[in-house]
Chains A and B, each alone.
Chain A
Amino acid sequence: MSEGTDRRPVLAMPDYILASFDSSHDALTAEQTARAAGFRARLVPTPERVRAGCGLSLRMNPEDVKKIDAVMREVGIEPSHYTLMTADRGRRVYVPLDLSQMRESEEDVT
């Protein structure tokens, strides 16, 4: 037990992005594809407020989202939506990302 003086540091809450899918098949393929491409990404339970079809989402660092989105689409996997998971005063905040806008800006860059 960690009560008393042995308290661990307060949980760091870095921002991350969840890619959500319509099926578990797509979620697993997405994880395998992203990892094969060298990205740090993993499947996590989908929070209820994300309202995705699939109970598993792909968690990734915000800086990787456009690249992972591109490699997923190369193998025909299209997330139903992306959510930025951030925090405000110790509470989780969900920010839906606009996919088309994100991809347009990606195309501008490339």
Chain B
Amino acid sequence: MIYLDNAATTAQKPPEVIETMRTFLEQNLQGNPARGGHAVSLQALAAVEETRALTARFFGVGDARQVAFSFNVTAALNAVLKGLLKPGDHVITTCTEHNSVLRPLYQLEAAGVALDIVSLNDAGLIDPHELAAYLRPETTAIVVNAASNVTGDALDLRAVADICHAHDLLLIVDAAQAAGTIALDMSALGIDVLCFTGHKSLYGPGGTGGIVLGDDTDPARFRPTLSGGSGIQSFSRVHPHVMPTLFEAGTQNVLGLVGLSAGIRYLNGIGMARVQARLTHLTHFFREHIQSVPGVTVYGAFDRPEVTRAPIVALNLGAWPAAEISDLLAEDYDIATRPGAHCAPLMHEALGTTDQGIVRFSFSTLNTEAELATAAAAVRDLAMRL
């Protein structure tokens, strides 16, 4: 199979991720961190804290305690949004968001938080300056993705951060598609809160993710949305309000975090600048190979070289349902893609694809030009057969 559904999850992991997790299990190192003073518990704690330090450095944060782990980016976004926003607050987001942002915000809206959603401009992009048009005195935060999970188009986060900081707002970033595909230095970009998942382009296993607060982001602004065992302050009736415990309750996914650390090390070994360049190359390589396919529509701002992108090519063939195109690619050509709405309903409304869906091809560092050439030939072949 040629696996081109990496925006859903990277099914192929680097060998060092597999080996690191296997060794950790085989050596019986998976103790319960911060729950005992014996060697196995302490080794597990050291493994989790090493992942925390690696994660902080990866996102340009100096204090590792500003990193809290969760089980995926959805859990992270829920914890941040529901821990921050309260009735009377106002929040601004965009139509390009995934349901992991939209649904928590709709829940909060029902509870009295005011919500504005910015639309695409004529170029099919989010104009950061349009976000500013929705500012109110009670605006608390702007929540945006770093890159669309439908088109791969990235947002100019620095421009959004400038708006946020000029008005004392928090910039909360959903980095599901950008973490590990686009270099994200939170300090340089001015990101106050970043939520990530480990199983996509950070090459970790499922069940990993987290919240990264910027070095200047005050954890006191957030309420814990989970409470329970923490390994600290056990006689307190309330969950500790200190990072990282603020967002962590119960036993950590130690084995998963060990795998995540190996994934981040894999990326560090290549260097994020080279990773991003490689993925950008693969994306344009595929797009160039399919752009002349009869009846193809490619979504996203490929005609704007200034737009950074996650490694995604989203397309349709004629008016054919994306679900059937994806099924034919899987059945007849052994190529894995993702059709449908991609949990981004407003983006599909904006693109006019609610009835058709979109076929999404998404790439990882482990894909090759040969694979993408084969996939592009399959798209062409399919278009000729339809």
Contacts and interface: CB of A to CB of B under 8 A. Distances in A.
B357 A90 contact: no
Given A1-B377, A55-B340, A48 B355 contact: yes
A47 B355 CA distance: 8
B385 interface: yes
Interface stretch (A4-12, A62-70, A71-79): A4-12
Contact of A2 (B328, B353, B381): B381
Interface of A: 1-3, 7-11, 44-49, 55, 90-92
Contacts of A91: 319
22 contacts: A1-B377, A2-B377, A2-B380, A2-B384, A8-B385, A9-B385, A10-B386, A45-B323, A45-B326, A45-B327, A45-B339, A46-B323, A47-B322, A48-B321, A48-B340, A48-B353, A49-B355, A49-B356, A90-B386, A91-B319, A92-B319, A92-B321
B354 interface: yes
A44 B385 contact: no
A1 B379 CA distance: 10
A5 B264 CA distance: 47
Contacts of A9: 385
B16 interface: no
Main secondary structure of the interface of A (DSSP, over half): loop
Interface string B338-372: 01110000001000011111000000000000000
Contact of A92 (B320, B328, B339): B320
Nearest to B355: A49
Residue among B323, B348, B353, B356 with the highest chain A CB neighbour number at 10 A: B323
A10 to B, nearest CB: 6
B272 to A, nearest CB: 32
Contacts of B355: 48-49
A46 B384 CA distance: 23
Given A45-B340, A49-B355, A7 B384 contact: yes
A10 B385 CA distance: 4
Given A9-B385, A10-B385, A48-B356, A3 B326 contact: no
Contacts of B138: none
A24 to B, nearest CB: 13
B46 to A, nearest CB: 38
Given A1-B377, A2-B377, A91-B319, A47 B384 contact: no
A61 B382 CA distance: 22
B384 A8 contact: yes
Given A9-B385, A11-B385, A55-B340, A44 B323 contact: yes
Contacts of B384: 2-3, 7-8
Contacts of A2: 377, 380-381, 384
A8 to B, nearest CB: 5
Given A11-B386, A92-B320, 10 more contacts: A1-B381, A44-B324, A44-B327, A45-B323, A45-B339, A48-B348, A48-B353, A48-B357, A92-B321, A92-B324
Contact of B340 (A1, A3, A46): A46
Contacts of A46: 323, 340
Q: Which of B321, B326, B340, B357 has the most CB of A within 10 A?
A: B321
A43 B167 CA distance: 50
